[in-house]
């Protein structure tokens, strides 16, 4: 039967155009529906509110991400500023690259087992290198506990006494000078000299030295941040004559806030940080397992790619061919060690502690792998240390110079970073060989101005990666040569100049003695 079209051309209740078999009726013009201004206004308001809600969520998320740096408030919401790798690993293509590295680790393990089986006639699971590198752990724990307790008591105690009695004292300048002198004395001797002396006197192995020295540097930076952030607040409160609150309740942080800061994965002190409502213990366990996996990964890299090359290397004076081959053969293991150190510490270790402390700001690094300039690489490789250098070195120099010496401030930042890096390597390796310092101050400074932020495009990213790879090869080659030269040619009674002169420049021993095989 025919459908009854009616005059309007729409079937009531269906919302669809009716089908008609009368062409004459179809030729009639269709009546247009009048636009309801009130209905359009309601739709526009709904869309506007939805877009506004999205903008508010994005702004709130961004604010929470950076609140720890810009004086954030203790937030109990569940929004987390994730590390870039945490978001990238949600992409299947990036996760496949992670799986490729795991497959490479499996191949390293299999190749080591096969070679040991061929040489020894049996499967050998020997981790003597790890046992040697992390030797004397009870002594390491004891030194760390002493350092941590001293940092917990001395800086906070000095600041608390100084801030509490400053208003009532008639000799404020003298008290301030005395407190500052005691603090600097503690930083120089208590944290600076004593841990280094104990490390050298007890002959700790390299990995154990790294634990103590890196913790020494970290605690010194945290103590400085705590004093640097709170002293200006005390002085500002003292100048505020209209303040009716007491000095102590106004500016002195609680010891629990300072204790939280000592464990938090940040070097910038704040009274409060953005917090998450719960702890994902499965996530924490996964990150610590990944750290352990990176440790064994590095072990197999050294066993398969580094030790066989440098154990039998012929140390000759100014042998250009051997040096060039050594550098290029060291690029692959050097890059692997770089990736492992980055992933194990900046991603896994810091995220694990952030999760245990419900610390929501996870921006420990940015997408440094996309950098087209070394200036951007230095800012994004290690955001935790970069923020400390920016706030307490670069900005303070600009403040003291009234923003007149920006180039000098940048030079001081590079110098401080290079000196600290070289100090860590010199103490941990047991010799002074300023390769990293020279690369940092010479090529690093040069590339910082040549490959600046205005350089865009893929070619500059390729140049950055090429320079980074080559630098890793130079570092691994020269430091490994010097490590074995120290064992090839030991000095019985070295002078001070002998300690400063690289041993690999004059050592010509062709084979490594059996007692120094590691």
Task: Let me know if residue 456 belongs to a domain.
Answer: no
pLDDT of residue 6: 41
Largest CA distance in the chain: 116
**Residue 156 CA to its chain's centroid (Å):** 26
Q: How far apart are CA 185 and CA 192, in angstroms?
A: 9
At what angle are helices 137-165 and 255-263 packed, to 10 degrees?
140
> pLDDT higher for 264 or 118?
264
What pLDDT, on a 0 to 100 scale, did the predictor assign at position 158? 93
3-state secondary structure of 359: strand
Contacts by residues 249-253 (CB-CB < 8 Å, ≥ 24 positions apart): 251/163, 252/159, 252/160, 252/163, 252/164
Percent of the chain with pLDDT over 70: 74
3-state secondary structure at position 18: coil
Quick one: pLDDT at residue 37?
57
CA angle at 515 for the pair 509 and 518, rounded to the nearest 5°: 85
SS3 labels along 370-409: HCCCHHHHHHHCCHHHHHHHHHHHHHHHHHHCCCCCHHHH
Backbone angles phi and psi of 274, in degrees to 5: -65, 135
Summarize pLDDT for 440-488 with one digit per residue, the tens.
Answer: 888 877 777 776 667 677 888 898 899 899 999 999 999 988 888 888 7
The residue from 160, 165, 224, 421 that is catalytic is 421
Give a yes or no: residue 45 inside a domain.
Answer: yes
What are the backbone angles phi and psi of residue 457, rounded to the nearest 5°? 110, 160
Residue among 135, 306, 143 at smallest CA distance from 205: 135
Cα(80)–Cα(92) distance, integer angstroms: 22
Q: Is residue 330 part of a domain?
A: no
Distance CA 265, CA 56 (A): 28
Gyration radius of the chain's alpha carbons: 31
Q: E-assigned strands of 377-518?
A: none
| Average of per-residue pLDDT across 108-117 | 80
**Which range is most confident: 58-67, 130-139, 366-375?**
130-139
pLDDT for residue 257 is more than 80: yes
* 250 has pLDDT over 80: no
Instruction: Tell me if residue 421 is catalytic.
Output: yes
Instruction: Write the pLDDT tens digit of every residue in 43-53.
Output: 554 544 444 44
Higher-scoring residue by pLDDT: 149, 321: 149
pLDDT tens track for 187-236 = 999 999 999 999 999 989 999 999 999 999 999 999 999 999 999 888 88
Q: CA nearest 441: which of 477, 407, 417?
A: 417
Would you place residue 241 in the very low, low, confident or very high pLDDT band (cuts 50, 70, 90)? low
Tokens of 118: 């061929």
Establish if 120 belongs to a structural domain: no
Q: What is the mean pLDDT of the chain?
A: 78
How many Cβ atoms are within 10 Å of 205's Cβ, its own excluded? 17
Q: In sequence order, which residues have a C-beta less than 8 Å from that of residue 496 and are 6 or more positions away?
A: none
The three-class DSSP label of residue 39 is helix
CB neighbours (10 Å) of residue 516? 12
* 273 lies in some domain: no
Q: What is the pLDDT of residue 481?
A: 87
Q: Name the domain count of the chain.
A: 1
Q: What is the pLDDT of residue 401?
A: 85
Q: For residue 411, what pLDDT is reported?
A: 87
Domain that holds residue 53: 36-66
Q: Do the Cβ atoms of 233 and 189 come closer than 8 Å?
A: no
pLDDT of 65 higher than 60? no
Round to the nearest angstrom and report the end-to-end CA distance of the chain: 97
Position 16 scores a pLDDT of 42
86-95, 340-349, 422-431: segment of lowest average pLDDT: 86-95
Averaged over 239-250, what is the pLDDT?
55
**Following DSSP, what letter does each residue of 169-210 receive, concatenated?**
-S-HHHHHHHHHHHHHHIIIIIIIIHHHHHHHHTT--HHHHH
What lies within 8 Å, CB to CB, of 187 at 6+ separation is: 220, 223, 224
> What integer pLDDT is reported at residue 36 of this predicted model?
59
* pLDDT tens-digit readout, 20-30: 444 444 444 44
Q: Which residues contact 374 (CB under 8 A, 6 or more apart)?
A: 444, 447, 448, 451, 464, 467
Q: What is the pLDDT of residue 202?
A: 92
**169-186, pLDDT tens digit by residue?**
677 788 889 989 999 999
Residue 93 CB-density burial (10 A; 0-12 exposed, 13-18 middle, 19+ buried): exposed
pTM: 0.78
Examine residue 145 and state whether it is found in any structural domain, yes or no: no
Classify residue 51: in a domain, yes or no: yes
pLDDT tens digits, residue range 300-328? 889 888 888 787 665 555 577 778 888 89
Would you state the pLDDT for residue 486? 84
Ranges of beta strands (E only) in 395-515 are none
Give which of 224, 272, 230 is closest to 251, Cα–Cα: 230
pLDDT over threshold 60, residue 8: no
pLDDT at residue 18 is higher than 80: no
In a domain, 41, yes or no: yes
pLDDT of residue 57: 43
- Per-residue confidence at 260, pLDDT binned at 50, 70, 90? very high
Residue 225: predicted pLDDT? 95
């Amino acid at each position: 039967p025919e459908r009854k079209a009616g005059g309007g051309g729409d079937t009531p209740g269906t919302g669809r155009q009716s089908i008609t078999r009368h062409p004459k009726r179809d030729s009639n013009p269709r009546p247009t529906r009048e636009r309801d201004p009130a209905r359009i206004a309601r739709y526009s308001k709904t869309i506007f509110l939805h877009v506004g809600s999205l903008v508010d969520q994005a702004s709130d998320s961004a604010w929470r991400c950076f609140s720890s740096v810009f004086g954030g408030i203790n937030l109990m919401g569940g929004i987390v500023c994730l590390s870039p790798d945490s978001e990238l690993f949600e992409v299947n293509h990036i996760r496949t690259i992670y799986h490729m590295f795991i497959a490479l680790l499996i191949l390293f393990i299999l190749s080591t087992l096969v070679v040991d089986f061929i040489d020894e006639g049996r499967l050998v699971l020997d981790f003597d290198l790890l046992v040697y590198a992390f030797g004397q752990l009870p002594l390491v724990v004891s030194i760390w506990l002493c350092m941590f307790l001293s940092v917990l008591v001395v800086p906070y105690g000095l600041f608390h006494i100084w801030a509490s009695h400053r208003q009532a004292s008639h000799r404020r300048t003298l008290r301030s000078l005395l407190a500052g002198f005691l603090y600097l004395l503690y930083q120089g001797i208590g944290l600076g000299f004593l841990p280094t002396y104990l490390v050298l006197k007890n002959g700790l192995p390299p990995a154990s030295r790294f634990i103590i020295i890196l913790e020494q540097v970290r605690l010194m930076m945290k103590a400085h941040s705590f004093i640097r952030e709170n002293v200006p607040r005390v002085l500002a409160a003292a100048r505020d004559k209209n303040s009716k609150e007491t000095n102590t309740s106004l500016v002195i942080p609680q010891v629990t806030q300072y204790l939280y800061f000592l464990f938090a994965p940040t070097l910038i002190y704040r009274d409060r940080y953005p917090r998450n409502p719960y702890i994902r213990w499965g996530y924490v366990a996964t990150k610590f397992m990944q750290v352990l996996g990176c440790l064994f990964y590095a072990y197999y890299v050294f066993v398969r790619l580094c030790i066989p090359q440098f154990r039998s290397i012929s140390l000759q004076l100014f042998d250009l061919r051997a040096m060039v081959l050594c550098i290029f053969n060291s690029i692959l293991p050097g890059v692997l060690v770089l990736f492992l150190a980055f992933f194990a510490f900046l991603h896994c270790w810091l995220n694990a502690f952030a999760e245990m402390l419900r610390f929501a700001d996870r921006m420990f690094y940015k997408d440094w792998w996309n950098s087209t300039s070394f200036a951007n690489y230095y800012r994004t490789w290690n955001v935790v240390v970069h923020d400390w250098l920016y706030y307490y070195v670069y900005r303070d120099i600009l403040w003291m110079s009234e923003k007149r010496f920006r180039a000098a401030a940048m030079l001081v930042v590079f110098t401080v970073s290079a000196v600290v890096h070289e100090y860590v390597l010199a103490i941990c390796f047991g010799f002074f060989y300023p390769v990293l310092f020279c690369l940092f101050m010479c090529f690093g400074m040069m590339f910082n101005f040549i490959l600046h932020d205005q350089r865009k495009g893929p070619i500059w990213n390729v140049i950055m990666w090429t320079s980074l790879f080559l630098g890793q090869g130079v570092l691994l080659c020269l430091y490994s040569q010097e490590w074995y030269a120290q064992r090839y040619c030991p000095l019985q009674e070295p002078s001070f100049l002998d300690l400063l002169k690289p041993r690999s420049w004059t050592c010509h021993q062709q084979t490594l003695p059996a007692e120094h095989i590691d």
